[in-house]
Structure 1
Amino acid sequence: MHQVIQQRKPESSGESSRFELIAFDLDGTLIELNIPFDEIRRELGIEGRFILESIMDEKDLQRRQEMLRVLESYELRCAMEARPAYYAVELVNGLDAIKGVITRNSRRSAEIVAERLGFEFDFIIGREDAEPKPSPEPLNLALRMFDVSPSKALMVGDFLFDLLSGKAAGAKTALILTDRNRGMAKSFIQHADYVFESLKELADFLEVEQ
Protein backbone atom coordinates (compact mmCIF):
# COMPACT_ATOMS: atom_id res chain seq x y z
CA MET A 1 0.00 0.00 0.00
CA HIS A 2 1.31 3.47 -0.88
CA GLN A 3 2.01 5.88 1.92
CA VAL A 4 -0.53 8.69 2.00
CA ILE A 5 1.19 12.02 1.45
CA GLN A 6 -0.56 15.33 1.97
CA GLN A 7 -0.78 17.19 -1.30
CA ARG A 8 -0.11 20.91 -1.35
CA LYS A 9 -2.12 22.83 -3.89
CA PRO A 10 -2.33 26.59 -4.58
CA GLU A 11 -4.75 28.58 -2.48
CA SER A 12 -6.03 30.44 -5.50
CA SER A 13 -6.30 29.53 -9.15
CA GLY A 14 -4.48 32.71 -10.12
CA GLU A 15 -1.26 31.57 -8.45
CA SER A 16 -0.34 29.31 -11.34
CA SER A 17 -0.45 32.11 -13.90
CA ARG A 18 2.43 34.01 -12.30
CA PHE A 19 5.09 31.52 -13.42
CA GLU A 20 7.04 32.91 -16.35
CA LEU A 21 9.66 30.14 -16.40
CA ILE A 22 9.23 26.47 -15.54
CA ALA A 23 12.26 24.19 -15.27
CA PHE A 24 11.87 20.41 -15.26
CA ASP A 25 14.10 17.60 -14.12
CA LEU A 26 14.46 14.96 -16.82
CA ASP A 27 15.02 11.39 -15.57
CA GLY A 28 12.15 10.17 -13.44
CA THR A 29 10.14 13.33 -14.07
CA LEU A 30 9.63 13.87 -17.81
CA ILE A 31 10.92 10.46 -18.87
CA GLU A 32 10.81 7.06 -17.26
CA LEU A 33 14.00 6.36 -15.36
CA ASN A 34 16.07 3.80 -17.28
CA ILE A 35 19.69 4.49 -16.33
CA PRO A 36 21.33 1.38 -14.76
CA PHE A 37 23.02 3.10 -11.83
CA ASP A 38 24.26 -0.11 -10.19
CA GLU A 39 25.87 -1.26 -13.46
CA ILE A 40 27.58 2.10 -13.85
CA ARG A 41 28.88 1.98 -10.28
CA ARG A 42 30.34 -1.47 -10.87
CA GLU A 43 32.06 -0.46 -14.11
CA LEU A 44 33.53 2.66 -12.55
CA GLY A 45 34.37 1.04 -9.23
CA ILE A 46 32.23 3.54 -7.32
CA GLU A 47 30.79 2.74 -3.92
CA GLY A 48 29.12 6.07 -3.16
CA ARG A 49 25.40 6.62 -3.64
CA PHE A 50 25.76 9.53 -6.03
CA ILE A 51 27.77 8.70 -9.13
CA LEU A 52 28.44 12.23 -10.34
CA GLU A 53 29.77 13.39 -6.97
CA SER A 54 32.01 10.33 -6.76
CA ILE A 55 33.42 11.10 -10.19
CA MET A 56 34.06 14.74 -9.40
CA ASP A 57 35.88 13.72 -6.20
CA GLU A 58 38.41 11.79 -8.31
CA LYS A 59 41.76 13.59 -7.97
CA ASP A 60 43.30 12.17 -11.16
CA LEU A 61 42.06 14.48 -13.92
CA GLN A 62 42.60 11.94 -16.70
CA ARG A 63 40.80 9.26 -14.71
CA ARG A 64 37.94 11.69 -13.99
CA GLN A 65 37.53 12.50 -17.68
CA GLU A 66 37.45 8.81 -18.55
CA MET A 67 34.81 8.19 -15.89
CA LEU A 68 32.69 11.01 -17.29
CA ARG A 69 33.06 9.53 -20.76
CA VAL A 70 31.81 6.16 -19.53
CA LEU A 71 28.91 7.80 -17.70
CA GLU A 72 27.88 9.75 -20.79
CA SER A 73 28.02 6.60 -22.94
CA TYR A 74 25.36 5.09 -20.68
CA GLU A 75 23.32 8.29 -20.75
CA LEU A 76 23.39 8.47 -24.54
CA ARG A 77 22.36 4.85 -24.87
CA CYS A 78 19.50 5.33 -22.42
CA ALA A 79 18.43 8.53 -24.21
CA MET A 80 17.97 6.53 -27.40
CA GLU A 81 15.65 4.16 -25.52
CA ALA A 82 13.86 6.73 -23.35
CA ARG A 83 10.10 6.75 -23.01
CA PRO A 84 8.10 9.80 -21.91
CA ALA A 85 6.33 9.83 -18.58
CA TYR A 86 2.55 9.98 -18.71
CA TYR A 87 1.39 13.39 -19.99
CA ALA A 88 4.93 14.79 -20.13
CA VAL A 89 4.97 15.86 -23.78
CA GLU A 90 1.45 17.27 -23.58
CA LEU A 91 2.35 19.28 -20.50
CA VAL A 92 5.62 20.72 -21.78
CA ASN A 93 4.41 21.53 -25.26
CA GLY A 94 1.16 23.02 -23.98
CA LEU A 95 2.82 25.55 -21.68
CA ASP A 96 2.81 29.24 -22.57
CA ALA A 97 5.64 29.93 -20.13
CA ILE A 98 9.34 29.60 -20.91
CA LYS A 99 10.08 25.91 -20.32
CA GLY A 100 13.13 23.72 -20.28
CA VAL A 101 15.20 21.00 -18.68
CA ILE A 102 17.80 21.14 -15.94
CA THR A 103 19.56 17.79 -15.70
CA ARG A 104 22.61 16.28 -14.03
CA ASN A 105 23.08 14.32 -17.26
CA SER A 106 25.10 15.51 -20.23
CA ARG A 107 23.40 18.14 -22.35
CA ARG A 108 23.70 15.96 -25.46
CA SER A 109 21.74 13.12 -23.88
CA ALA A 110 18.93 15.53 -23.01
CA GLU A 111 18.99 16.94 -26.55
CA ILE A 112 18.57 13.41 -27.93
CA VAL A 113 15.57 12.86 -25.67
CA ALA A 114 14.01 16.13 -26.84
CA GLU A 115 14.60 15.30 -30.50
CA ARG A 116 13.32 11.73 -30.26
CA LEU A 117 10.25 12.38 -28.14
CA GLY A 118 9.22 15.75 -29.52
CA PHE A 119 9.65 17.96 -26.46
CA GLU A 120 9.60 21.66 -27.36
CA PHE A 121 12.07 23.07 -24.84
CA ASP A 122 13.24 26.68 -24.74
CA PHE A 123 16.42 25.67 -22.93
CA ILE A 124 18.39 22.57 -21.94
CA ILE A 125 20.99 22.89 -19.18
CA GLY A 126 23.27 19.92 -18.52
CA ARG A 127 26.13 19.32 -16.13
CA GLU A 128 28.61 20.96 -18.53
CA ASP A 129 26.79 24.28 -18.28
CA ALA A 130 26.68 24.89 -14.54
CA GLU A 131 27.41 23.22 -11.23
CA PRO A 132 24.84 20.40 -11.10
CA LYS A 133 21.80 20.22 -8.83
CA PRO A 134 21.41 20.53 -5.86
CA SER A 135 23.33 23.72 -6.62
CA PRO A 136 21.07 26.64 -7.60
CA GLU A 137 23.44 27.55 -10.44
CA PRO A 138 21.62 25.72 -13.27
CA LEU A 139 18.34 27.47 -12.46
CA ASN A 140 20.13 30.77 -11.89
CA LEU A 141 21.61 30.37 -15.38
CA ALA A 142 18.17 29.84 -16.91
CA LEU A 143 16.79 32.86 -15.06
CA ARG A 144 19.62 35.03 -16.35
CA MET A 145 19.20 33.73 -19.89
CA PHE A 146 15.59 34.89 -20.02
CA ASP A 147 15.75 37.77 -17.51
CA VAL A 148 13.17 36.20 -15.21
CA SER A 149 12.87 36.86 -11.49
CA PRO A 150 13.22 33.80 -9.22
CA SER A 151 9.83 34.63 -7.70
CA LYS A 152 8.27 33.96 -11.11
CA ALA A 153 9.94 30.56 -11.63
CA LEU A 154 8.95 27.00 -10.78
CA MET A 155 11.30 24.01 -10.47
CA VAL A 156 9.63 20.63 -11.05
CA GLY A 157 11.21 17.32 -10.13
CA ASP A 158 10.95 13.96 -8.42
CA PHE A 159 13.94 14.06 -6.08
CA LEU A 160 15.49 16.04 -3.25
CA PHE A 161 18.17 17.64 -5.45
CA ASP A 162 15.52 19.23 -7.68
CA LEU A 163 13.77 20.80 -4.72
CA LEU A 164 16.96 22.02 -3.06
CA SER A 165 18.15 23.57 -6.31
CA GLY A 166 14.90 25.41 -6.82
CA LYS A 167 14.68 26.61 -3.24
CA ALA A 168 18.27 27.85 -3.20
CA ALA A 169 17.58 29.86 -6.37
CA GLY A 170 14.53 31.48 -4.77
CA ALA A 171 11.96 29.71 -6.94
CA LYS A 172 8.84 27.75 -6.03
CA THR A 173 9.20 23.96 -6.16
CA ALA A 174 6.87 21.16 -7.23
CA LEU A 175 7.36 17.50 -6.34
CA ILE A 176 5.92 14.87 -8.67
CA LEU A 177 5.10 11.65 -6.83
CA THR A 178 5.76 8.37 -8.60
CA ASP A 179 5.70 4.71 -7.65
CA ARG A 180 9.49 4.87 -7.43
CA ASN A 181 9.92 7.90 -5.17
CA ARG A 182 6.83 7.71 -3.00
CA GLY A 183 8.49 5.72 -0.23
CA MET A 184 11.40 8.15 0.16
CA ALA A 185 9.45 11.37 -0.44
CA LYS A 186 8.60 11.79 3.24
CA SER A 187 12.28 12.59 3.86
CA PHE A 188 12.31 15.63 1.56
CA ILE A 189 8.71 16.64 0.96
CA GLN A 190 9.15 19.63 3.28
CA HIS A 191 11.18 21.29 0.53
CA ALA A 192 8.25 21.21 -1.91
CA ASP A 193 5.83 24.11 -2.20
CA TYR A 194 3.45 21.91 -4.18
CA VAL A 195 3.02 18.14 -4.37
CA PHE A 196 1.29 16.44 -7.30
CA GLU A 197 0.33 12.84 -7.97
CA SER A 198 1.12 13.15 -11.68
CA LEU A 199 2.18 15.50 -14.45
CA LYS A 200 -1.47 15.62 -15.46
CA GLU A 201 -2.33 17.14 -12.10
CA LEU A 202 0.47 19.65 -12.56
CA ALA A 203 -0.89 20.46 -16.01
CA ASP A 204 -4.32 21.12 -14.51
CA PHE A 205 -2.76 23.41 -11.90
CA LEU A 206 -0.86 25.30 -14.59
CA GLU A 207 -4.04 25.48 -16.65
CA VAL A 208 -2.48 23.88 -19.70
CA GLU A 209 -5.02 23.72 -22.49
CA GLN A 210 -6.06 20.17 -23.32
Structure 2
Amino acid sequence: MELFHAAASPYVRKVKVVLHETGQAEDVTLVESAQTPLSPNPANQNPLGKIPCLTRPDGPALFDSRVICRYLADRAGADLIPAARQWEIQTLEALADGVMDAGILMVYEIRVRPEDKQFPDYVEGQWAKITRALDAIEAQWMSHLAGPLNMAQIAVACALGYLDLRHGARDWRSARPALADWYAKFGERSSMQATKPE
Protein backbone atom coordinates (compact mmCIF):
# COMPACT_ATOMS: atom_id res chain seq x y z
CA MET A 1 0.00 0.00 0.00
CA GLU A 2 1.07 3.58 -0.58
CA LEU A 3 0.09 6.58 1.51
CA PHE A 4 0.21 9.95 -0.24
CA HIS A 5 1.21 12.31 2.53
CA ALA A 6 2.82 15.52 3.68
CA ALA A 7 4.65 15.39 6.98
CA ALA A 8 2.96 18.48 8.44
CA SER A 9 -0.63 17.41 7.68
CA PRO A 10 -2.59 16.61 10.86
CA TYR A 11 -4.92 14.36 8.85
CA VAL A 12 -1.95 12.37 7.61
CA ARG A 13 -0.65 12.19 11.15
CA LYS A 14 -3.93 10.60 12.28
CA VAL A 15 -3.37 7.83 9.74
CA LYS A 16 0.28 7.40 10.71
CA VAL A 17 -0.64 7.15 14.41
CA VAL A 18 -3.18 4.43 13.60
CA LEU A 19 -0.56 2.62 11.51
CA HIS A 20 1.87 2.66 14.43
CA GLU A 21 -0.73 1.78 17.06
CA THR A 22 -1.99 -1.19 15.04
CA GLY A 23 1.42 -2.51 13.97
CA GLN A 24 0.95 -1.74 10.27
CA ALA A 25 3.55 0.97 9.68
CA GLU A 26 5.76 -1.42 7.71
CA ASP A 27 2.86 -2.31 5.39
CA VAL A 28 2.72 1.19 3.87
CA THR A 29 5.13 3.10 1.66
CA LEU A 30 5.02 6.86 2.18
CA VAL A 31 4.78 8.95 -1.01
CA GLU A 32 5.52 12.64 -0.54
CA SER A 33 2.61 14.69 -1.84
CA ALA A 34 2.85 18.23 -0.48
CA GLN A 35 0.20 20.26 -2.28
CA THR A 36 -2.32 23.07 -2.02
CA PRO A 37 -5.63 23.65 -3.80
CA LEU A 38 -3.65 25.67 -6.35
CA SER A 39 -0.99 23.01 -6.91
CA PRO A 40 -2.42 19.47 -6.68
CA ASN A 41 -0.26 16.40 -7.20
CA PRO A 42 -1.44 14.60 -10.37
CA ALA A 43 -0.14 11.26 -9.02
CA ASN A 44 -2.49 11.44 -6.03
CA GLN A 45 -5.48 9.20 -6.80
CA ASN A 46 -7.91 11.32 -4.78
CA PRO A 47 -9.80 13.36 -7.43
CA LEU A 48 -10.26 16.10 -4.82
CA GLY A 49 -6.48 16.48 -4.70
CA LYS A 50 -6.38 16.07 -0.93
CA ILE A 51 -4.21 14.04 1.39
CA PRO A 52 -4.07 11.51 2.91
CA CYS A 53 -4.84 9.07 0.12
CA LEU A 54 -4.18 5.35 0.55
CA THR A 55 -3.72 3.13 -2.48
CA ARG A 56 -4.15 -0.62 -2.05
CA PRO A 57 -3.76 -3.62 -4.33
CA ASP A 58 -7.22 -5.05 -3.71
CA GLY A 59 -9.46 -2.07 -4.48
CA PRO A 60 -9.67 1.60 -5.36
CA ALA A 61 -7.76 4.24 -3.43
CA LEU A 62 -9.23 5.33 -0.12
CA PHE A 63 -9.28 8.95 0.97
CA ASP A 64 -10.36 11.11 3.87
CA SER A 65 -8.51 10.38 7.07
CA ARG A 66 -11.61 9.02 8.80
CA VAL A 67 -12.19 6.45 6.06
CA ILE A 68 -8.54 5.40 5.96
CA CYS A 69 -8.31 5.10 9.74
CA ARG A 70 -11.41 2.94 9.89
CA TYR A 71 -10.07 0.73 7.08
CA LEU A 72 -6.73 0.29 8.84
CA ALA A 73 -8.35 -0.40 12.21
CA ASP A 74 -10.62 -3.00 10.62
CA ARG A 75 -7.67 -4.55 8.76
CA ALA A 76 -5.81 -4.94 12.06
CA GLY A 77 -8.84 -5.99 14.12
CA ALA A 78 -8.46 -2.91 16.34
CA ASP A 79 -11.58 -1.49 17.99
CA LEU A 80 -10.87 2.24 17.92
CA ILE A 81 -14.57 3.16 17.93
CA PRO A 82 -16.17 0.94 20.60
CA ALA A 83 -19.89 0.47 20.00
CA ALA A 84 -20.84 1.55 23.52
CA ARG A 85 -19.43 5.06 22.92
CA GLN A 86 -19.39 5.23 19.13
CA TRP A 87 -21.48 8.38 18.71
CA GLU A 88 -19.52 10.35 21.27
CA ILE A 89 -16.18 9.18 19.92
CA GLN A 90 -17.14 10.00 16.33
CA THR A 91 -18.52 13.41 17.33
CA LEU A 92 -15.35 14.27 19.22
CA GLU A 93 -13.27 13.11 16.24
CA ALA A 94 -15.35 15.37 13.98
CA LEU A 95 -14.78 18.28 16.38
CA ALA A 96 -11.02 17.64 16.29
CA ASP A 97 -11.10 17.44 12.50
CA GLY A 98 -12.89 20.80 12.49
CA VAL A 99 -10.03 22.27 14.52
CA MET A 100 -7.65 20.93 11.87
CA ASP A 101 -9.80 22.40 9.08
CA ALA A 102 -9.78 25.85 10.67
CA GLY A 103 -6.06 25.73 11.44
CA ILE A 104 -5.22 24.78 7.86
CA LEU A 105 -7.47 27.52 6.45
CA MET A 106 -5.57 30.04 8.55
CA VAL A 107 -2.32 28.85 7.00
CA TYR A 108 -3.74 28.87 3.45
CA GLU A 109 -4.98 32.43 3.87
CA ILE A 110 -1.40 33.56 4.43
CA ARG A 111 0.46 31.15 2.15
CA VAL A 112 -1.84 30.91 -0.85
CA ARG A 113 -3.47 34.33 -1.15
CA PRO A 114 -1.48 37.31 -2.40
CA GLU A 115 -0.80 39.71 0.46
CA ASP A 116 -3.18 42.38 -0.87
CA LYS A 117 -6.04 39.85 -0.91
CA GLN A 118 -5.55 38.42 2.57
CA PHE A 119 -8.40 38.91 5.01
CA PRO A 120 -7.24 39.09 8.66
CA ASP A 121 -10.81 38.96 9.98
CA TYR A 122 -11.24 35.60 8.21
CA VAL A 123 -8.13 34.28 9.95
CA GLU A 124 -9.45 35.44 13.32
CA GLY A 125 -12.82 33.88 12.53
CA GLN A 126 -11.10 30.54 12.02
CA TRP A 127 -9.22 30.94 15.29
CA ALA A 128 -12.53 31.69 17.02
CA LYS A 129 -13.83 28.32 15.81
CA ILE A 130 -10.75 26.64 17.26
CA THR A 131 -11.18 28.48 20.57
CA ARG A 132 -14.83 27.42 20.86
CA ALA A 133 -13.96 23.82 20.04
CA LEU A 134 -11.14 23.61 22.58
CA ASP A 135 -13.31 25.29 25.23
CA ALA A 136 -16.00 22.67 24.58
CA ILE A 137 -13.50 19.83 24.92
CA GLU A 138 -12.19 21.28 28.20
CA ALA A 139 -15.71 21.78 29.59
CA GLN A 140 -17.62 18.78 28.25
CA TRP A 141 -15.45 16.13 26.62
CA MET A 142 -12.47 15.37 28.86
CA SER A 143 -14.03 12.16 30.19
CA HIS A 144 -14.16 10.87 26.60
CA LEU A 145 -10.40 11.30 26.31
CA ALA A 146 -9.88 8.82 29.16
CA GLY A 147 -9.75 5.06 28.93
CA PRO A 148 -8.48 2.71 26.22
CA LEU A 149 -7.15 4.17 22.98
CA ASN A 150 -9.82 5.40 20.57
CA MET A 151 -10.10 7.55 17.45
CA ALA A 152 -11.25 10.63 19.36
CA GLN A 153 -8.04 10.63 21.38
CA ILE A 154 -5.91 10.25 18.27
CA ALA A 155 -7.76 13.02 16.42
CA VAL A 156 -7.66 15.49 19.31
CA ALA A 157 -3.95 14.87 19.87
CA CYS A 158 -3.16 15.38 16.18
CA ALA A 159 -5.21 18.59 16.10
CA LEU A 160 -3.37 19.97 19.13
CA GLY A 161 -0.04 18.98 17.63
CA TYR A 162 -0.91 20.92 14.49
CA LEU A 163 -1.79 24.00 16.52
CA ASP A 164 1.63 23.80 18.16
CA LEU A 165 3.32 23.37 14.79
CA ARG A 166 1.58 26.14 12.83
CA HIS A 167 0.03 28.41 15.45
CA GLY A 168 2.41 28.06 18.36
CA ALA A 169 2.36 31.79 19.09
CA ARG A 170 -1.29 31.51 20.06
CA ASP A 171 -1.57 30.08 23.55
CA TRP A 172 -4.25 27.38 23.57
CA ARG A 173 -3.03 25.80 26.84
CA SER A 174 -3.36 28.45 29.58
CA ALA A 175 -7.17 28.55 29.67
CA ARG A 176 -7.45 24.75 29.31
CA PRO A 177 -5.28 23.09 31.94
CA ALA A 178 -7.04 19.71 31.84
CA LEU A 179 -6.66 19.45 28.07
CA ALA A 180 -3.05 20.63 28.22
CA ASP A 181 -2.24 18.01 30.88
CA TRP A 182 -3.96 15.26 28.90
CA TYR A 183 -2.07 16.20 25.74
CA ALA A 184 1.28 16.24 27.52
CA LYS A 185 0.70 12.66 28.64
CA PHE A 186 -0.80 11.40 25.38
CA GLY A 187 2.02 13.00 23.42
CA GLU A 188 4.47 10.65 25.15
CA ARG A 189 3.06 7.64 23.29
CA SER A 190 5.56 6.10 20.90
CA SER A 191 3.11 6.54 18.01
CA MET A 192 2.94 10.29 18.67
CA GLN A 193 6.70 10.60 18.98
CA ALA A 194 7.27 8.61 15.76
CA THR A 195 4.86 10.82 13.79
CA LYS A 196 5.85 14.22 15.16
CA PRO A 197 6.45 16.60 12.24
CA GLU A 198 9.81 18.36 12.07
More helix by share: 2
Whether TM exceeds 0.5 here: the answer is no
TM value normalised by structure 1: 0.34
TM value normalised by structure 2: 0.35
